[in-house]
């Protein structure tokens, strides 16, 4: 969880979820870049019309960090839970079958 607080996606990478970690990192980078681009646009314009949009990007960045932290925490604690298994393959007649076994 602390890794994700420092850099969103780092906690997911540490938990062995590289795709999810990459998505969190990309979302955070995109949100921060959008914030700074909008801030620079507002500095060039004397009107204060678009400041709410800039704030939305700031709050989105903070939200991504919080969601990333919560997800890394939950992933770390639920990693050892045996949820079941999925089996995919042909049956006796040659048709494809999917078998889902779930444990509670």
Task: Report the domain count for the chain.
Answer: 1
Q: Are 31 and 57 in contact (CB under 8 A)?
A: yes
- The pLDDT tens digits of the residues spanning 49-97 come to 656 677 788 899 899 999 999 999 988 887 776 767 888 888 888 888 8
Domain that holds residue 15: 2-102
**Neighbour count for residue 31 (Cβ, 10 Å):** 20
**Neighbour count for residue 44 (Cβ, 10 Å):** 6
Q: Are 55 and 34 in contact (CB under 8 A)?
A: no
Query: Distance (Å, rounded) from C-alpha 68 to C-alpha 70?
Result: 6
- The pLDDT tens digits of the residues spanning 9-62 come to 888 898 888 999 999 999 999 998 988 888 888 778 766 665 667 778 889 989
Q: Is 5 helix (H, G, I), strand (E, B) or coil?
A: helix
């Amino acid at each position: 969880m602390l890794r994700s607080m420092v850099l969103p996606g780092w906690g997911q990478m540490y938990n062995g979820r590289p795709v999810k970690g990459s998505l969190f990192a990309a979302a955070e980078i995109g949100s921060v870049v959008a914030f700074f681009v909008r801030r620079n646009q507002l500095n060039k314009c004397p009107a204060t019309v678009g400041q709410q949009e800039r704030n939305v990007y700031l709050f989105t960045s903070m939200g991504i960090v919080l969601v990333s932290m919560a997800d890394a925490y939950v992933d770390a604690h639920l990693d050892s839970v045996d949820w079941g298994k999925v089996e995919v393959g042909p049956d006796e007649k040659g048709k494809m079958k999917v078998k889902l076994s779930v444990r509670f």
